[in-house]
Structure 1
Amino acid sequence: MAQVLEFKLPDLGEGLTEAEIVRWLVEVGDVVAIDQPVVEVETAKAMVEVPCPYGGVVTARFGEEGTELPVGSPLLTVAVGSATADTDTGAETEGSGNVLVGYGTGAPPARRRRVRRMAADVVTSVADAPAAAPAPAPAPAAETRGRDDGPAPVISPLVRRLARENGLELRELTGSGRDGLILRADVEQALRAAATLEATTQEATLLPPATLPTTTTDIDGVTRTPLRGIRGAVADKLSRSRREIPDATCWVDADATELMRTRAAMNAAGGPKISVLALLARICTAALTRFPELNSSVDMDAREVVRFDRVHLGFAAQTERGLVVPVVRDAHVRNTEALSAEFARLTEAARTGALTPADLSGGTFTLNNYGVFGVDGSTPIINHPEAAMLGVGRIVPKPWVHEGELAVRQVVQLSLTFDHRVCDGGTAGGFLRYVADCVEQPAVLLRNL
């Protein structure tokens, strides 16, 4: 007699309380392996795959695609036991105990297929008996699960899936991320090294198209689109920012000619390319060292200004699923090369939907490069609960008085939107002026390096 276990939507961390079902990865009747991803969900932070801690036969699914479920709601039930599958399916009958999003054993899952000879008593037990409460089971022994010291640390579930679909053993890789974390680039590099897997790599890197909220159009031609997932979370945050933060904006035009020359000289010297965004981020962190009031937030319940001694720098990124703000951790201790690499990694993750909730949380200051949209200026909404945002317009040739003569120079408009509760205009103006001075004369940064 098989035992039926119920798998519930696990705690997704970062204060997340619900998720929307984007795509089911299994059907009722499929055989699943322990820690095999069974559903793709979108939270207010990111799109992630959820692995099931039980191995057996899927007997029920709860919720259609597009349905929002709170944490703790049933996702599916799995019939576990020898009667649930053929002896050659390899279905595993003990749970891993792993219910955190993105955490799995790293072992390749059994191939998805229907059970052809399911015992009649299993069907009867599923129909007549309530699902048993899932009991946390100990992680399987290393020799049984094919691992040594647990799963290899990866940056996101998508990286684990990419490796799994191409038969790549993650524990054989050396991660280039912090503390040996395996990044998507590490997996792709390993796949490129095997010529026979090249075609498979190209296919595996393609993600399914984003699921858009269901829209309705009435007879008057009015279209309504639900604010869900990332778009809904952004809407809530922007509304809260406008409602709670008394913001003000100041701006200045700056001659960025020398900054662009400096970047060109850096890149001409060889090595990884340095982005303009990385240079601006380095300037920004130096400015926050001089004006730490802007690296803070306001706790109105305690009536306190909370100042941070570390800079976790967010940057706005537009994606098909809406605006997201990935965060570069400890940006104040990274040089321009390290900043450029991290911006590239996070931008690619945002583009492919591989950002984790941790990648999108904990920012203390935001850099908004709206110049990529071809505009000169903006008065952005502060990324609540932060206290300030530096905006950067496009860098374009303009007439400029340089050394007493009119010349064509590369000019950029910089803006600072700040919470007037944390500082006065003098501090905000001082910060922005320092940033402009560094843009015009990058040598100013040498004082702080």
Structure 2
Amino acid sequence: MTQVLEFKLPDLGEGLTEAEIVRWLVEVGDVVVVDQPVVEVETAKAMVEVPCPYGGVVTARFGEEGTELPVGAPLLTVAVGEPAAGGETEGSGNVLVGYGTGAPPARRRRVRPAPMAPSARGTATGAPSAPAAAEAAPAVDGAPRAAAAPAVRARPAARTLPAAAAEGPVPVISPLVRRLARENGVDLRQLSGSGPEGLILRADVEDALRADAARDRTATAPSAPTTAPARTSGTRTPLKGVRGAVADKLSRSRREIPDATCWVDADATELMRARAAMNAAGGQKISLLALLARICTAALARHPELNSTVDMEAREIVRLDAVHLGFAAQTERGLVVPVVRDAHTRDAESLTAEFARLTEAARAGTLTPSELTGGTFTLNNYGVFGVDGSTPIINHPEAAMLGVGRIVPKPWVHEGELAVRQVVQLSLTFDHRVCDGGTAGGFLRYVADCVEQPAVLLRTL
């Protein structure tokens, strides 16, 4: 006997309470197996694929792409076959990527419903009518084909779409861009994306909005206005997803942490030469960020107060044993801070490889929640934006952040003579509750010494 099971949006961990549907991976009528990914969702932490714990035929989907659902809301329903020997329907009970039975997913099969009257036909995202489901449902887990499928909610007939619409969803850089277009009435299919392979970027949607606004002003501008023009509202972008999470964290940091910043200029000429010598020796190329990270972990070993957090409820400073190093990464979805686990145990090659892996995942939007949380100290290389200095906001609940400006040729007194050297500005923003200026200054001075004379690091290797 066939039964219909409802799969709800699972708890994705890290205190997340909602997620936005980015892309459906199955359609109504598809046959799915246990733990097969069925939908890609975006949370405030990352984009993840959600696997279904049931195997059977998809009979309904709930929510269009771009819809935001709370944890526990229905995602889809699946018609399954006879219950297992124990009397319960088989299913892994697992819902997160990387957890499941481990069985290889079967190739997706499309079950085509029998022809029916146009008035009874469901939409691409709706459930088939009861007679169609009865004819379409195949044998599941060896059970005979059901004679009748459970009743499902009828949906209106699908509207006719242009030829381009039948080819699938429009390629968009992120769900935020899709939402921006939807909320402002922009037809994505009328845009020519400026990204790779026609990918539609946020700038493309904003250009279209500006063009529409200009046309509206031209069409409605009076020849001799007698009153002041009404104020027009600007483009509104919801503080959701990654952008919303960043806003919440930075606001909390400013409210709770009494921060202070100190900075110093350092001659990075010898560090750049050391890196060039390393890379000339062959093997994996060592990144500058990896060398700076190695310097940070050595400095934190000397000044562990800065690798801590404050527990205000217990009124205690918690000094942490491991260094989980976060680094700021700018993506199309906003600012994210991936975390390199146990950075204090890694050498320059390992750090280079991990930075590259996490950066690529950040740009692709595939970082997992665990890769975006748990940092104990953050390294912010804002020099990539062409700026010399900054006063970073601490990544709550950490106690400090090291900022690195661009490395540029400047006049510098070297060995008693004026010379052109590669100079960088280093800044440290720290939580004044965990240490005073002497500790912070000692940390920053040690970092600067290692930048100016990399041989100083040999004492800690």
Q: TM-score, normalised by structure 1?
A: 0.77
What does residue 260 of structure 2 align with?
248
- Rounded to whole Å, the distance in 2 between the matches of 1:25 and 1:12 is 18
What does residue 222 of structure 2 align with?
none
Alignment map for 1:386-405 (pairs within 5 Å): 386-405=398-417
What does residue 210 of structure 1 align with?
174
Question: Does the Cα contact within 8 Å between 1:395 and 1:411 map onto a contact in 2?
Answer: yes
SS at match of 1:232: helix
- Rounded to whole Å, the distance in 2 between the matches of 1:17 and 1:307 is 30
Alignment map for 1:310-325 (pairs within 5 Å): 310-325=322-337
For 2:336, the aligned partner's letter is V
- Rounded to whole Å, the distance in 1 between the matches of 2:46 and 2:39 is 14
1:103 counterpart = 2:99: yes
What does residue 446 of structure 2 align with?
434
Deviations 1:313-367 (A, max 9, x none): 0000011111110101111111111111111111111111221111111000000
Higher Rg: 2
Alignment map for 1:17-416 (pairs within 5 Å): 17-81=17-81, 94-104=90-100, 105-116=102-113, 118-119=133-134, 125-127=150-152, 209-212=173-176, 214-215=179-180, 216=183, 220-416=232-428
1:7 counterpart = 2:30: no
- Rounded to whole Å, the distance in 2 between the matches of 1:324 and 1:61 is 31
Question: Does the Cα contact within 8 Å between 1:375 and 1:394 map onto a contact in 2?
Answer: yes
- Rounded to whole Å, the distance in 1 between the matches of 2:245 and 2:387 is 26
Distance 1:225 1:112, change over 3 A: farther
For 1:279, the aligned partner's letter is L
1:418 counterpart = 2:430: yes
- Rounded to whole Å, the distance in 1 between the matches of 2:293 and 2:415 is 28
- Rounded to whole Å, the distance in 2 between the matches of 1:53 and 1:31 is 13
SS at match of 2:379: strand
Deviations 1:395-438 (A, max 9, x none): 11111000010000000000000111111111111100000000
Deviations 1:224-260 (A, max 9, x none): 1111111111111111111111111110000000000
SS at match of 1:261: helix
For 2:174, the aligned partner's letter is A
Question: Does the Cα contact within 8 Å between 2:407 and 2:422 map onto a contact in 1?
Answer: yes
Question: Does the Cα contact within 8 Å between 1:314 and 1:366 map onto a contact in 2?
Answer: yes
Deviations 1:80-137 (A, max 9, x none): 127xxxxxxxxxx832332223434351333242333542577652339xxxxxxxxx
- Rounded to whole Å, the distance in 1 between the matches of 2:268 and 2:304 is 25
Question: Does the Cα contact within 8 Å between 1:311 and 1:331 map onto a contact in 2?
Answer: yes
- Rounded to whole Å, the distance in 1 between the matches of 2:361 and 2:49 is 15
Q: Give the length in aligned residue pairs.
A: 362
What does residue 188 of structure 1 align with?
none
Aligned-pair distance for 1:306?
Answer: 1.0
- Rounded to whole Å, the distance in 2 between the matches of 1:236 and 1:113 is 43
Deviations 1:274-315 (A, max 9, x none): 100000000000000111110011111111111101100000
Question: Does the Cα contact within 8 Å between 1:63 and 1:75 map onto a contact in 2?
Answer: yes
Question: Does the Cα contact within 8 Å between 1:3 and 1:80 map onto a contact in 2?
Answer: yes
- Rounded to whole Å, the distance in 2 between the matches of 1:122 and 1:296 is 64
Question: Does the Cα contact within 8 Å between 1:210 and 1:321 map onto a contact in 2?
Answer: yes
For 1:108, the aligned partner's letter is P
SS at match of 2:175: coil
Distance 1:73 1:122, change over 3 A: farther
- Rounded to whole Å, the distance in 2 between the matches of 1:66 and 1:331 is 37
Gaps of 5+ in 1: 83-92, 129-206
Question: Does the Cα contact within 8 Å between 1:279 and 1:336 map onto a contact in 2?
Answer: yes
- Rounded to whole Å, the distance in 2 between the matches of 1:447 and 1:269 is 22
Distance 1:292 1:122, change over 3 A: farther
Gaps of 5+ in 2: 83-88, 115-132, 136-145, 154-170, 185-212, 214-230
Aligned-pair distance for 1:11?
Answer: 2.0
Deviations 1:174-215 (A, max 9, x none): xxxxxxxxxxxxxxxxxxxxxxxxxxxxxxxxx973212523
Q: TM-score, normalised by structure 2?
A: 0.75
Deviations 1:48-92 (A, max 9, x none): 10011111111122222222222222211101127xxxxxxxxxx
Question: Does the Cα contact within 8 Å between 2:307 and 2:320 map onto a contact in 1?
Answer: yes
- Rounded to whole Å, the distance in 2 between the matches of 1:122 and 1:236 is 53
Question: Does the Cα contact within 8 Å between 2:134 and 2:149 map onto a contact in 1?
Answer: no
- Rounded to whole Å, the distance in 1 between the matches of 2:244 and 2:95 is 26
SS at match of 2:418: strand
SS at match of 1:429: helix
Question: Does the Cα contact within 8 Å between 1:44 and 1:233 map onto a contact in 2?
Answer: yes
- Rounded to whole Å, the distance in 1 between the matches of 2:239 and 2:27 is 28
Distance 1:123 1:254, change over 3 A: farther
For 1:342, the aligned partner's letter is E
Question: Does the Cα contact within 8 Å between 2:264 and 2:425 map onto a contact in 1?
Answer: yes
Question: Does the Cα contact within 8 Å between 1:34 and 1:109 map onto a contact in 2?
Answer: no
- Rounded to whole Å, the distance in 2 between the matches of 1:95 and 1:208 is 34
Distance 1:112 1:322, change over 3 A: farther
Question: Does the Cα contact within 8 Å between 2:2 and 2:149 map onto a contact in 1?
Answer: no
